[in-house]
């Protein structure tokens, strides 16, 4: 066989290293151009389309947000925020958006309070107990069904059950005995359904990402499952729960269909009966979403300026909740554990 | 990515017999008068010939295919190059093994031969690489990578059927989508060369990811061979495999070398010894020594090489 | 609630305590299916499956007139009051959903490729939060922008007087309609799809892409023929999730669709895009005020039932598609 004739390091090394370095942006551009020349036309169209879409997305988002910002700042005033709405077609006399803001806050609180224990409990049960298997799988698929159900369907399902005489305590009953079925409580109960999937999923993912040996260590110390859940698992999935909850709150704040169907669409918060808090909960009202809807040309159509102002406030609330999600996500120890 | 368990569908001769799992196998079987596709028959009956005798039986290495000339690779702002002014020839019909401790730049060197290194952000190259007298910078990237094909450390078959995997590059390089029937001969040829045909021919539509690890790697070799490359780069092709699959792949490298030039990166000295004709030893980016396998292992010239092949460090 | 449970709880009791909400969730969903089906039953009873079809109802009139006459039926209407042919609404739902999802798939795959493959890091750091932000915008805000900006724009600039006159005896063209509906619906569902597809594309093993590149395939082809092909299950899942959103979008579409129980006619050519419609969900939302009428109530629940069944069939279909794709090792 021929012996390779090569010194490990040829003396001199002339001519090498000079011409073909991949350095410098100009050189790289030249190369890119050279490579693109060999691409198929369809590939080039694809790349161009992807760039157009990506940039277009930013432009669209920027124009939506910019437009809302301009309109919101134009029509929003402190006065508007703190006065109650008045039933008037005249824009100068239709009052502010205090009640819708409060309505949104109440709705988010009620919905979250109902959704949180249900979703977290269900997630804990599915991951930590999960027997019998078929039931656990049923729970998961039912939550998927909720996630896939349109909120308008959830809304009129709510109407069907809350108009039953059995449920009369949750809303007001008319003279003839017909149950109205519309109140913060009934709307909140249905709102909890649209928040459950995100809380459930986030909690379950967080629980699943906890290494098994943490649980085993706790069991080895003679702890019961319950104290393990309380002392070990819950603290470490708290950021996951927070993420899911903030997402769910965003969905509640942004939903219109359930409000339109189940909150009675009164402009102001109208408590039922004399008990302070309970009266408000079983009473009717409006939220920012229904306010926007009703004041747009599609509703009574009276006040597009106020609709813009309300929509701007709504957008701020939703964006704030969104920011919470990323903050909670960043603090998620379950994620660091995974790595 | 979940890789399917290795126990599924393996030929009787490769994985089934656990008693032969000596690692590394002490001697190598020679492939003299066998059908080119046979991997599945009982290897125990074949003559066992020691590496040095076999190497003596082989014809001399052919003409120079690839030449690495004063090649340096820098990553980002690191002052020291990952590969430092390396010059190496690759001949037709030879297996060149790049050895050296982890981080010595052997994989970087390999990946620069088909310009895959350019995918790494911040990687810069100096020096020339010449393929059949042409600077690879002047070649169209896609052409270059078909002539200098590559097999990776982790078997990476695409999530498609076996057939589609091998036919992938053929389909991509033709403008009109060729029919399955047109492709079949070339797919079969590639699978035969990779010694996989007998194991998979009964069902080419099986998902490639259902194959065992060793079969997946041979499928990747078949996929790389389907484009009829002149040089085959192998980046530690056996490090993710069990000893028996490793033996099969090493066997394969043997059979392939008559047709093309193979550059293999390995951290396994025994493997380099078994498969390579020439060995290049790298250390911290420098090419320390290059020579015929026998010489480099038996009579290393450099102190570092002696320490490394002697197992003092590495 | 938790305070009372500070004390040690046996495994069994803890299981029951946590099992209760799990079972409650199951019961709620089952109750939803049962309730909606029961309420919808009279419509099926009186019309069979014929109400899904097209043409004049036995009592005559367009679908909107049929719905309107139901309100007068009161709480104990005669069987004839249930008569309805809901095809225009069903067609409107299907049309808006299919079009927006079809556009959405193309746009979101391209956008995901842009985000994962093409965009420089700095651009990417802008686009990713932007997408998340767009996904969070409540649909009523899209509706507001649609009705106050897009609808007047379409009415003033896109619809010509000739077009308006050519169909004036059939349907008024005033701006709201198919075009605005589909644009906004696409805008609404695309961010979710982009988020899901981007996640999937990022999780494609690097080895697959490198393997393709090492075979002499261009970057773009490596993405399209290996990465995008590998994430087809995720694309299907994203499309199904988005179609559930699109099918069920009530308020936004009620604002910008023109709210007219009319089935846009493709044979009208370009005018087709400007013709108004009203999908099922919007019909439900707009008529809940009059739900005391038994016939209307049953009809609305029938619509809801149809939406539920469609969503269910979609997710079932996606399950089987995903399963067969995953059999090849796609993810």
pLDDT one-digit tens code per residue, B195-206: 889 899 898 988
In a domain, A18, yes or no: no
A64 and A207 both lie in a single domain = no
3-class secondary-structure state, position B292: strand
Question: What is the average per-residue pLDDT within C296-320?
Answer: 89
Domains of chain B: 61-309 (3.40.50.300)
pLDDT one-digit tens code per residue, C191-243: 999 999 999 999 888 889 889 999 988 888 889 889 998 899 899 989 998 99
Find the range with the poorest average confidence among B6-20, C161-175, C270-284.
B6-20
Buried b (16+ CB within 10 A) or exposed e, A150-187: bbbbbbbbbbbbbbeeebbebbbeeeeeebbbbbbbbb
3-class secondary-structure state, position A307: helix
Q: Which pLDDT value is given to residue A107?
A: 92
* Domain region containing A281: 78-338
Write down which chains contact chain B via at least 3 CB pairs under 8 A: A, C
Cβ contacts of A121 on chain C, cutoff 8 Å = 17-18, 20-22
Percentage of the residues of chain B whose pLDDT score is greater than 90: 15
Whether A13 and chain B come into contact, CB under 8 Å, resolves to yes
A151 and A50 both lie in a single domain = no
Backbone angles phi, psi at B282, to 5 degrees: -115, 150
Percent of chain B as helix, strand, coil, to the nearest 5: 35, 20, 40
The whole-angstrom separation of Cα C32 and Cα A161 is 9
Q: Comparing C-alpha atoms, which of A144, B165, B156, B159 is closest to residue C331?
A: B159
Q: What is the CATH number of the domain that holds C300?
A: 1.10.3720.10
Whether B109 and chain A come into contact, CB under 8 Å, resolves to no
Cβ contacts of C329 on chain B, cutoff 8 Å = 159-160, 207-210
Whether A38 and chain B come into contact, CB under 8 Å, resolves to yes
Closest Cα in chain A, distance from residue B17 (Å): 35
In a domain, C302, yes or no: yes
Closest Cα in chain B, distance from residue A46 (Å): 16
pLDDT of residue C112 exceeding 90, the answer is yes
Q: Which pLDDT value is given to residue B188?
A: 92
A44 and A153 both lie in a single domain = no
3-class secondary-structure state, position A331: coil
> Mutation test of the interface with chain B: which of C200, C218, C233, C329, choosing the one with the most B Cβ atoms within 10 A?
C329
Whether B150 and chain C come into contact, CB under 8 Å, resolves to yes
Closest residue to B89, CB basis, from A6, A9, A13: A6
Q: Which pLDDT value is given to residue A92?
A: 66
In a domain, A325, yes or no: yes
A135 and A53 both lie in a single domain = no
Closest chain B residue to A37, measured at CA: B140
Closest residue to C251, CB basis, from A125, A138, A260: A260
In a domain, C13, yes or no: no
Cβ contacts of C230 on chain B, cutoff 8 Å = 158-159
- Residue A263 · residue A185 · CB < 8 Å: no
In a domain, C236, yes or no: yes
Closest chain B residue to C228, measured at CA: B159
Whether A10 and chain B come into contact, CB under 8 Å, resolves to yes
Whether C225 and chain B come into contact, CB under 8 Å, resolves to yes
Closest residue to A193, CB basis, from C22, C28, C284: C28
pLDDT of residue C3 exceeding 70, the answer is no
In a domain, A26, yes or no: no
In a domain, C36, yes or no: no
pLDDT one-digit tens code per residue, B2-29: 444 433 443 433 433 333 333 444 344 3
Closest Cα in chain A, distance from residue C270 (Å): 24
Element holding B166 (H helix, E strand): helix B162-173
In a domain, A215, yes or no: yes
- Residue A304 · residue A297 · CB < 8 Å: yes
pLDDT one-digit tens code per residue, B216-275: 999 999 999 998 898 999 999 888 888 888 888 898 888 888 888 999 999 888 899 988
Cβ contacts of B152 on chain C, cutoff 8 Å = 207, 210-211, 214
Write down which chains contact chain C via at least 3 CB pairs under 8 A: A, B
- Number of domains present in the structure of chain A: 2
What is each CA distance from C226 to B145, B186, B213, B235, B257, in whole angstroms? 17, 21, 20, 21, 30
A88 and A156 both lie in a single domain = yes
In a domain, C229, yes or no: yes
A162 and A202 both lie in a single domain = yes
Whether residue B128 and residue A16 make contact (CB cut-off 8 A), yes or no, is yes
A216 and A231 both lie in a single domain = yes
Torsion sign over Cα B15, B21, B25, B31 = negative
A164 and A48 both lie in a single domain = no
Q: Which pLDDT value is given to residue C57?
A: 62
CA-CA-CA-CA dihedral for C144, C145, C151, C157, to nearest 10: 160
In a domain, C141, yes or no: yes
Cβ contacts of C120 on chain B, cutoff 8 Å = none
A94 and A62 both lie in a single domain = no
What is each CA distance from C230 to A308, B158, B160, in whole angstroms? 44, 8, 8
* Domain region containing C137: 89-326
Q: Which pLDDT value is given to residue C56?
A: 67
Whether residue C216 and residue B152 make contact (CB cut-off 8 A), yes or no, is no
- Number of domains present in the structure of chain C: 1
The whole-angstrom separation of Cα B187 and Cα B177 is 15
pLDDT of residue C256 exceeding 50, the answer is yes
Whether residue C288 and residue A159 make contact (CB cut-off 8 A), yes or no, is yes
A43 and A93 both lie in a single domain = no
**What is the rounded average pLDDT for all residues in chain B?**
79
A37: CB partners within 8 A, 6+ apart: none
Torsion sign over Cα C5, C8, C14, C18 = positive
A256 and A146 both lie in a single domain = yes
Closest chain B residue to C226, measured at CA: B158
Closest Cα in chain B, distance from residue C102 (Å): 25
Cβ contacts of C311 on chain A, cutoff 8 Å = 145, 148-150
Place of tokens 């043997």: B254
Q: Which pLDDT value is given to residue A117?
A: 92
- Residue A21 · residue B126 · CB < 8 Å: yes
Instruction: Read off the tokens for A66.
Output: 């910019």
A188 and A66 both lie in a single domain = no
In a domain, C46, yes or no: no
* Ranges of chain A whose pLDDT falls below 70: 1-28, 31-32, 34-35, 38, 88-93, 174-177, 300-302, 329-339
């Amino acid at each position: 066989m021929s012996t390779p004739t090569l010194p490990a390091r040829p003396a001199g090394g002339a001519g090498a290293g000079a011409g073909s370095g991949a350095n410098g942006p100009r050189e790289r551009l030249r190369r890119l151009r050279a490579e693109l020349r060999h691409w198929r036309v369809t590939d080039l169209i694809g790349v161009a389309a992807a760039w157009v879409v990506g940039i277009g997305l930013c432009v669209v988002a920027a124009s939506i947000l910019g437009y809302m910002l301009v309109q919101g700042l134009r029509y929003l005033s402190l006065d508007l925020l703190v006065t109650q709405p008045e039933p008037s077609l005249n824009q100068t006399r239709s009052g502010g958006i205090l009640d819708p803001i409060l309505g949104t806050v109440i709705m988010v609180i009620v919905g979250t309070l109902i959704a949180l224990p249900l979703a977290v409990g269900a997630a804990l049960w599915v991951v930590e107990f999960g027997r019998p298997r078929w039931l656990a799988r049923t729970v998961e698929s039912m939550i998927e069904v909720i996630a896939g159900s349109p909120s308008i369907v959830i809304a009129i399902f709510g109407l069907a059950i809350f108009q039953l005489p059995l449920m009369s305590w949750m809303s007001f009953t008319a003279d003839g005995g017909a149950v109205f079925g519309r109140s913060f409580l009934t709307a909140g109960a249905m709102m909890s359904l649209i928040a459950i999937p995100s809380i459930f999923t986030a909690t379950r993912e967080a629980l699943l990402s906890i290494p098994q040996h943490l649980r085993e260590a706790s069991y080895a110390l003679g702890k019961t499952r319950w104290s393990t859940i309380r002392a070990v698992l819950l603290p470490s999935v708290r950021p996951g729960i927070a993420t899911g909850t903030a997402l769910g709150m965003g969905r509640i704040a942004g939903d219109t269909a359930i409000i339109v169907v189940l909150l009675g669409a009164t402009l102001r918060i109208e408590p039922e009966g004399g008990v302070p808090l309970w009266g408000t909960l079983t009473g009717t009202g409006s939220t920012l979403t229904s306010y926007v809807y009703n004041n747009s040309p599609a509703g009574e159509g009276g006040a597009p300026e106020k609709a813009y102002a309300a929509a701007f406030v709504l957008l701020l609330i939703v964006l704030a909740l969104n920011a919470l999600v990323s903050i909670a996500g960043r603090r998620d120890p379950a994620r660091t554990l995974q790595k | 990515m979940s890789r399917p368990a290795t126990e599924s569908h393996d030929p009787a001769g490769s994985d089934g017999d656990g008693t032969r799992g000596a690692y590394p196998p002490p001697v190598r079987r020679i492939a003299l008068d066998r059908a080119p596709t046979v991997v599945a028959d009982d290897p125990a009956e074949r003559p066992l010939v020691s590496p040095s005798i076999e190497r003596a039986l082989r014809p001399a290495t052919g003409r120079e295919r690839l030449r690495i000339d004063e090649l340096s690779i820098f990553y980002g702002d690191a002052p020291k190059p990952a590969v430092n002014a390396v010059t190496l020839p690759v001949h037709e019909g030879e297996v060149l093994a790049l050895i050296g401790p982890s981080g010595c730049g052997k994989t970087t060197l390999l990946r620069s031969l088909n310009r895959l290194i350019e995918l790494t952000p911040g990687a810069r190259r100096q020096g020339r690489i010449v393929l059949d007298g042409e600077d690879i910078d002047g070649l169209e990237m896609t052409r270059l990578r078909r002539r200098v094909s590559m097999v990776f450390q982790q078997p990476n078959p695409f999530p498609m059927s076996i057939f589609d995997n091998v036919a992938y590059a053929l389909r991509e390089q033709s403008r009109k989508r060729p029919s399955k029937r047109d492709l079949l001969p070339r797919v079969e040829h590639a699978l035969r060369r990779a010694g996989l045909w007998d194991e998979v021919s009964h069902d080419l539509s099986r998902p490639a990811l259902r194959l065992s690890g060793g079969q997946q790697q041979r499928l990747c070799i078949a996929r790389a061979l389907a484009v009829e490359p002149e040089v085959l780069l192998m980046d530690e092709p056996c490090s993710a495999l069990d000893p028996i699959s490793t033996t099969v792949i090493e066997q394969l490298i043997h059979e392939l070398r008559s047709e093309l030039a193979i550059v293999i990166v390995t951290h396994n000295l025994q493997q380099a010894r078994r498969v390579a004709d020439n060995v290049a030893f790298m250390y911290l980016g420098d090419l320390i020594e290059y020579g015929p396998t026998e010489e480099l292992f038996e009579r290393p010239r450099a102190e570092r090489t002696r320490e490394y092949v002697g197992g003092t460090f590495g | 609630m938790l305070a009372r449970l500070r004390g040690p709880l046996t495994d069994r009791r803890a299981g029951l305590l946590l099992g209760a909400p799990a079972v409650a969730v199951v019961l709620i969903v089952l109750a939803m299916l049962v309730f909606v089906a029961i309420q919808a039953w009279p419509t099926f009873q009186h019309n069979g499956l014929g109400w899904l079809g097209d043409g004049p109802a036995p009592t005559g009139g367009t679908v909107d007139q049929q719905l309107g006459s139901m309100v007068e039926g009161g709480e104990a209407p005669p069987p004839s009051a249930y008569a309805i042919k809901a095809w225009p609404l069903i067609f409107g739902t299907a049309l808006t959903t299919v079009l927006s999802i079809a556009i959405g798939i193309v746009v979101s795959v391209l956008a995901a490729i842009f985000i994962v493959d093409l965009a420089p890091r700095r651009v990417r750091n802008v686009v990713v939060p932007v997408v998340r932000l767009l996904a969070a915008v409540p649909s009523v805000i899209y509706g507001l922008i649609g009705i106050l900006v897009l609808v007047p724009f379409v009415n003033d600039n896109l619809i010509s007087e000739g077009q308006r006159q050519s169909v004036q005896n059939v349907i008024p063209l005033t701006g709201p309609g198919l075009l605005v509906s589909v644009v906004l619906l696409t805008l609404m569902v695309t961010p979710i799809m982009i988020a899901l597809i981007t996640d999937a594309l990022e999780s494609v093993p690097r080895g697959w892409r490198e393997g393709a590149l090492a075979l002499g395939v261009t970057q773009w082809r490596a993405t399209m023929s290996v990465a995008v092909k590998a994430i087809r299950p995720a694309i299907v899942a994203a499309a199904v999730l988005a179609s559930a959103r699109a099918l069920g979008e009530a308020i936004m579409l009620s604002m910008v669709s023109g709210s007219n129980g009319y089935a846009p006619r493709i044979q009208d050519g370009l005018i087709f895009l400007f013709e108004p419609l009203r999908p099922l969900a919007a019909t439900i939302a707009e008529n809940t005020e009059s739900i005391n009428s038994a016939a209307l109530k049953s009809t609305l629940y029938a619509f809801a039932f149809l939406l539920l069944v469609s969503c269910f069939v979609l997710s079932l279909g996606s399950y089987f598609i995903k399963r067969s794709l995953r059999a090849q090792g796609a993810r």
